[in-house]
Structure 1
Amino acid sequence: MDKQQLMECHERIKPFIHNTPVLTSRLIDGMAGARLFFKCENFQRMGAFKMRGAANAIMQLTESQKQNGVVTHSSGNFAQALSLAAQSMGVKAHIVMPRNAPQVKKDAVRGYGGNIIECEPTLEAREQESKEIQKKYGATFIHPSNDDAVILGQGTACKELLELHPDLDHVITPVGGGGLIAGTALAAAYFGNGCKTIGGEPFEGDDAYRSLLSGTIEGNITTNTIADGLKTQLGDRNFPIIQKHVERIIRVTEEEIVSAMRLVWERLKIICEPSSAVALAAVLREKETFKDKKIGVIISGGNVDLVHLPFQKPL
C-alpha cells in the first residue's frame, strides 16, 4: 500500500466522511509536558474512525459485488460503520453479532439499516455464520481491521491531522485489531516529517505489545479490560505494517485508562470511549518519552454506554 493509494483512498471517501476537528488543551499540555493535538474521530459519522475504512472497502467493490451485499462480524463500532456506509451507498449489509452484544449496539446497527444475524459469543461461531451468509447471498466479507482497503481508509484520519500539523514528532493511537494503527503508521511515514507512530494498549489485553516482541501474532491471555474495543487481535495484513512502521507500544493500567477518559470529558468537553482514552493514558504514563514534543493523539471514537460510565458514582 503506497502513498498514491492512500491519497486516492482519501479523495474517494471524502463524500461519505467528516474531516473531524483537532482540539487542544493547555491544561492537558501542562500535565503531559508536551503539546498534544487531539484528532477527534468521536465526531466522525456513526461516532468512530471506522466509518473511513468501511466506506473505502465498499467503494472498492464491483457493481455485481455491491448488488450481493456485504457481511462482517462485529459487536462494536465496525458493525455500525459498515451498516451506515452500506446504507449510504445503497448496499445491503449483513452483520453477524454475538447474542450477548449490548442492546444499544444492536439498535444502532438496525438504525443504520444493517441486517443482524445473531450467533454464539465465540470467534468460531462468528466466522462460521459469516461464511453461511456469504454462501446464501453471495455477499462479500469485509474484515473489521485485517483488510487492505479498511487499513487505507483508517489511515486518512492521520493524513488529515498531518495536513494541519505537518511537524508532529509522534502520533499515538489505541491498538485493537490493528487497522487504525497500521493505517496511521502508513500515513505518518508518507506524509509526516519524521513523525513516528506509537501505540497504546491495556495491560489486560496486550497481544500487540507481545506480538512486536516475539515477531509473531500473539493472542490475548486476558481481556479483562474496560477498553472493550481493544479485545481483538492483529491480522496477517496489518501486522507486517505495524512491524515495519510502529516504533513501540506502551501498555497502561485500567486506572490510567479511566483517569485519561475522565480528563478528556472534563477538560476537552467531549465524549470519548474507554478505548480512545488509552492513547492519552500512554502519553501521560511516559511523560519523559514525549517531553517538549508535538504529539498527535487519535481519539478513536465516542460510542459509550452512558448508564455505565467508569467514573460515575452509583445513584
Structure 2
Amino acid sequence: MTEHDGPTAGICAGRVAIITGAGQGLGRAHALEFARHGAKVVLNDMSPSVEDVAAEVRAAGGEAVAVVADIADWTASKGVIDLAVSTFGGLDTLVNNAGINRDRMLVNMSESEWDQVMTVNLKGHFAPLRHAVAWWRDQAKAGNRIAARVVNTSSGAGLMGSVGQGNYGASKAGIAALTQVAAVEFARYGVVVNAIAPSARTPMTEAVFAERMAKPADGFDAMDPANVSSLVVWLGSDEATTTGRVFEIEGGEVSLADGWRHGPPAVKNGRWEPQELTAVIADLVAKAEPPTPVYGA
C-alpha cells in the first residue's frame, strides 16, 4: 500500500478507495462500509445522488469526495483516478460497481439496448481499471511498494446465463473474463484483482425479483446490500491476496464460482470425420458434469 495519513483503526485504515456507481444500492453500501473501516473514499456516479452519499460518509466522520461523471468515458474515468491521487495522495482500491440493465428477449432487443449495457457495464469496468493500473505501474517502477486491490462486479447472469438478459449476461461474463486476465497481467505490479457475483436488493433487482427481495418482517435481512459490502471491503483490503477469482455472495453465504475448465478429451491421431463426431460428442456429453441451468430456463 502506498503511504497515506489516515485513521488508525479498521481493515482498510488509511487506504484510498474509488467506488463507481456509488449513488445508490450496492455502491452506496460499499461506500459506507469502506469509510466505516477507515478508508478515504472517492465516489462516482452519473447521478447527483452520489453527492448525498459522500455527505453521509462525512457526517459519520469519514473522508469522502464525489464526482458526477460517466465512468465509461475514457477522459472522465481518468479524471476519477486523478481526483483520488490529488485529493488523498494516492490510490489503493478500485471497486468497479457501475452497471445498468436493459432486459429484453434477444429476438426483441434493439441495437441501443445492447450497446448501452455493453458500454456502461464492460467499458465502465475497463476504462477506470486501465487508468488505475497505469498509475500503479508507474508507482511500482518508481520503487514504491504497492498493495493495490481491484474488485469488479459480475453477476450470476454472467456466470450461468439468464433468460431475458442476453446483453446484461454477456457484459457480466466479459467482466469475469476481464478479471482473470487482469489478475495475471497486473500481478507484477502488486495488484490483486477479483470479482463478485452478488445477490441483493437494489433498484436494479427489486422489480425483477420482487417477492424474493422483500424485506423480512423480522430477523436477518439476507437481501440487504450491506451484506455484500463486507466481502467487497475485505477484497479491497491488504488481507486479500487471492487473485483472479469470482466470489458469489448472498446474505451470509459466500462461495467461489468455478469457471470453464478443460474437460476430458477424445483423441484421434488424425482429423475427425464429421460423421465420426456423432458418437464422440455423445460420449463426451454423457461423461461431463451437466452445466448449471440458465436462470429462468
* TM-score interval, smaller chain: 0.3 to 0.5
TM-score (norm 1): 0.33
TM-score (norm 2): 0.35
